Amino acid sequence: MPYDGRLIAGATVLMAVVEAGSIARAAAALGLSPSGASRALQRLETRIGVRLVDRTTRALSLTDEGRRFYEQAGPLIEGIEEAALDVAGAGASVRGRLRVNIDAFFSRAVLAEHLAGFLARHPELSVDLVMRDRTGDLIADGFDLAIRFGDPPAGRLIARKLAETRVLTVAAPAYLAAHGEPRHPRELADHACIDFYDAANGRSYPWEFRRGDDMVPVTPPARLMVSDSGTMAGACVAGVGIAQFLELGTEDLVTSGAVVPILTDWADERFPLYALMPSRHQRAARVRAFIDFVVEVIAARRAG
């Protein structure tokens, strides 16, 4: 089959449609009109001679042939993009407006003090950090990426793990002096606990204690439930009860002695931090720069 630029263009549109879940969203990600993206798909199907996508008024899905084409062509399209990024290298300009859906705790506790340096490094860049309870629809909401704790949501988002952090169980020295220190996770039933409300899933976060291959789930007797990590930290320091913190971002509370880690022999649970992006395609230099910045800040924090 001779080279045909429209074939490459159509394959790029198909990749975007699969990742975005609809022609309209794919078109928005690629800077095309929905009708233009639809015509590109039709030209690709005509060029190959088979239907690649089944379209209905409510859903869009790949045919068997479309799935085979996606699986074989996808790595090739990604290879072209990676080659372009390598060639562009440092010459790619970090400019424009970057919109980030970001975990509020991580933004406040880890990134905030370093943002001035990042913006000074990229004077042509403006950044919108929008704190949300959940990832949501990045394309529809106009986000370039999301920085979120926890496993990536099901779907077609591109996920890059940035870090893992331990889950610490802590209490204020005054609380432990008054109530004693539990030696096993099940002893938490006899203590006051502070629970964190997971607004994204409409429930409190589960408490799981891990030691090697052993795992003990606990439903804490929470006298206080909060949906803000700052309030939880303040209440724990004040002696309200036992709480669970992510180690990343709360190191100062531990090193200052404001809280004391407990059940440390059951502290093998890890919580991931991910960068989530709506598409592999046309990943702007500003997105790569921000992800590199986040990784740099985390590395420096751990080294210090």
Q: In CATH, what number is assigned to the domain containing residue 217?
A: 3.40.190.290
Q: Which percentage of the chain shows pLDDT scores above 70?
A: 89
Confidence of residue 81 (pLDDT cuts 50, 70, 90): low
Could you give the CA distance from residue 149 to residue 135 in angstroms, rounded to a whole number?
A: 10
Highest-pLDDT range among 53-67, 146-160, 227-241: 227-241
> Tell me, what's the pLDDT at 217?
92
271-297 residues labelled b (16+ CB within 10 A) or e (exposed) = bebbbbbbbebebbbbbebbbebbeeb
Q: Based on the domain organization, do 281 and 146 belong to the same domain?
A: yes
Q: Does one domain contain both 85 and 207?
A: no
- CATH assignment at residue 75: 1.10.10.10
Looking at residue 281, its pLDDT comes to: 46
* Structural domain that includes position 73: 5-90
Task: Please tell me the total count of domains within the chain.
Answer: 3
pLDDT band at 59 (very low <50, low <70, confident <90, very high): low
Position 90 pLDDT exceeds 50: no
Query: How much is the pLDDT for 279?
Result: 65
pLDDT digits (tens, 9 = 90+) for 92-120: 578 888 999 999 889 999 999 999 999 99
Same domain for 168 and 246? yes
For the chain, the maximum distance between any two Cα atoms, rounded to a whole number of angstroms, is 80
Cα separation of 152 and 272, whole Å?
A: 9
Residues 57 and 106 grouped into a single domain: no
Q: What is the pLDDT of residue 88?
A: 58
The reply to whether the predicted model has a pTM over 0.75 is no
- Bridge partners, 169 (sequence order): 244, 262
Based on the domain organization, do 193 and 264 belong to the same domain? yes
- Other Cβ atoms less than 10 A from the Cβ of 77: the count is 18
- Do 185 and 249 lie in one domain? The reply is yes
Instruction: Provide CB contacts within 8 A for 271, sequence distance 6+.
Output: 149, 150, 164, 165, 166, 167, 246
Are 264 and 169 in the same domain? Answer: yes
Q: What is the pLDDT of residue 38?
A: 87
**pLDDT tens-digit map of 7-32:** 888 888 888 887 777 888 878 877 88
CATH number for 140: 3.40.190.10
Angle at CA of residue 270, ends 265 and 276, nearest 5° = 170
Among residues 42, 71, 90, which one ends one of the domains? 90
Task: Round to whole Å and give the CA distance between 231 and 253.
Answer: 14
Last residue of some domain: 41, 61, 90?
90
Q: H or E stretch including 76?
A: helix 64-88
- Looking at the structure, tell me whether residues 64 and 197 fall in a common domain: no
pLDDT score, position 169: 96
Cβ pair 84, 267 in contact under 8 A: no
Residue 91: pLDDT band with limits 50, 70, 90: very low
Q: Are residues 281 and 147 in the same domain?
A: yes
213 and 127 share a domain? no
Domain boundary among 41, 56, 90: 90
Q: Give the span between the Cα atoms of 207 and 229, in whole angstroms.
A: 16
Give the start-end residues of each E strand in the chain: 53-55, 60-62, 96-102, 125-131, 145-149, 158-171, 193-198, 203-204, 207-211, 214-218, 222-226, 243-246, 260-262, 270-277
* Mean pLDDT score across all residues of the chain: 85
Evaluate whether 61 touches 21 at the Cβ level (below 8 Å).
no
| Residues 110 and 21 both lie in one domain | no
- 1 burial level (CB within 10 Å; 0-12, 13-18, 19+): exposed
Region for residue 154 given its phi and psi (left: phi exceeds 0; alpha: psi -120 to 50; beta: otherwise): beta
230-288 per-position pLDDT tens digit: 899 999 999 999 999 999 988 889 999 999 999 999 999 888 999 998 865 446 788 98
Does one domain contain both 135 and 278? yes
pLDDT in tens, 155-206: 677 889 999 999 999 999 999 999 999 999 999 999 999 999 877 667 778 8
